[in-house]
Structure 1
């Protein structure tokens, strides 16, 4: 048995350099904490100005980096309506801004589509706070389907057709160079185009234990970390804003990550 152990195949490692096709800021899960957004955006502006000055001094050309939000804008915190309105305004003012879908946006949309079936579950995951932020009260968890449909109709009116359409159009994944950005994680055995919606929004059992073999880095939220850091091709940015008061961004550029807690 000891002889066999000596010749056991080595565990896979990850050594691919971080090589996005463009620099970008990845922003972690906001979860209804709009009050944290001004401070974070101010810190991003400071980094942006510094990077522009340095880049122009070296290259004589402007520098730019888009904002990429990793999803979970609603639930948990009390300001989901304000967060959704702020993100849509950011995209209007800065069209390169990208907002991905998170599993909490998915649950909101499921409530709109099947309120009696999906409503009680969404309430348990923070939907109660989201509805309250729009001035709508849900029925009791055991209420009949027609009461959930009435609540859905009130919420849909308060949400507004433009915001519902915006939510339904949120993409699940974005890639630049050898970096993909998703909400929850990715199956390390599948290429980006073959990832399931459930994996991208809820995660995969092998994501944190098995490094990818295709050299792709995965930037993600969903799982709260106390101190974000690159590890084995994974780059988490969710620092639990609703529980810790810390909303984190990461400036990701070739060979370098700069966190903004």
Structure 2
């Protein structure tokens, strides 16, 4: 059921935003199927599918998740937006730093071992590394800003630090006032999607047994899909 959203998209555009996958390939496949079915029943003029990052680590099949993201989006002709999460940043930094480094230790301590197991002995292929290296830090549409973790509400967008876009929790989560844009984010898990005047959080803990959530935005409404 659609409800009034705190933000608005341009006329004719529908956005499907997907929260933190964390190696849950089967859930991602199911949510993509739900998005395709939703569009087939209620087709629109334009579509964008936005993944908010944290595709890898902790869950059982990070390699399969990245394989899926290399494929076309679930809606034919849709714009595909892949944002970077802090886990992609950790993995890229660890691989660049090499064995026995602090960067590798940080990644492995935060679920990186599960990602390595999903590859077996072969390790991540160049296409997976290129996909992660090509991810953006944020994407904007209408009055929405899509980003992995959030932003520092005390800074304008042009002055945001990459560390905050990937990692921030406070003071962003409890910020009481409106921001320049409504921020759609993941990173901080909750039992259900959180809709506030300045943000919409859609990390519902897929890797911990919760659903993988998809947010559907159109005009000034929102609704949810899950798998």
TM-score of the aligned structures, taking structure 2 as reference length: 0.89
Q: Residue 210 of structure 1: CA displacement?
A: 1.6
User: Does the aligned pair in 2 maintain the 1:181–1:218 contact within 8 Å?
Assistant: yes
Instruction: Give the corresponding residue for 1:19.
Output: 8
1:179–1:217 CA contact under 8 A, matched in 2 = yes
In structure 2, the CA distance between the partners of 1:97 and 1:217, relative to structure 1 (3 Å rule), is same
Q: By how many angstroms is 1:44 displaced?
A: 1.2
In structure 2, the partner of 1:89 is 71
The alpha-carbon distance between structure 1 residues 213 and 243, as it changes in their structure 2 partners (threshold 3 A), is: closer
TM-score, with length taken from structure 1: 0.78
Q: Residue 198 of structure 1 aligns with which residue?
A: 163
Q: Does residue 65 in structure 1 map to residue 25 in structure 2?
A: no
After TM superposition, what 4+ stretches of structure 1 lie above 6 angstroms from structure 2? none
2:86 corresponds to: 103
Q: Which residue of 2 aligns with 1:131?
A: 116
Q: C-alpha distance in 2, partners of 1:211/1:65? A: 31
Unmatched tracts of structure 1, length 5 or more: 1-15, 53-61, 137-156
Query: Within 2, Cα distance between the matches of 1:238 and 1:40?
Result: 14
For the pair shown, which has the larger CA radius of gyration, 1 or 2? 1
Instruction: Give the Å deviation of 1:213.
Output: 4.3
Task: Find the aligned partners of 1:79 and 1:159 in 2 and give their Cα distance.
Answer: 12
* 2:215 aligned partner: 250
Q: Distance in 1 between matches of 2:178 and 2:154?
A: 8
Asked whether the 8 Å contact 2:86–2:166 carries over to 1, the reply is yes
Structure-1 separation of matches of 2:28 and 2:73: 15
Instruction: State the distance in 2 between where 1:111 and 1:91 align.
Output: 29
Aligned partner (choices 15, 21, 26) of residue 30 of structure 1: 21
Offset of residue 238 of structure 1: 0.6
1:36 is paired with a residue whose SS is helix
TM alignment of 1:141-220, pairs within 5 A: 158-220=123-185
Partner of 1:143: none
The alignment status of 1:39 with 2:30, answered yes or no, reads yes
1:50 shift after superposition: 2.6
- Number of aligned residue pairs: 217
Check whether the contact 2:152–2:172 (CA below 8 A) recurs between aligned residues: yes
Equivalent position SS for 2:130: helix
Q: Which moved more, 1:219-228 or 1:32-41?
A: 32-41
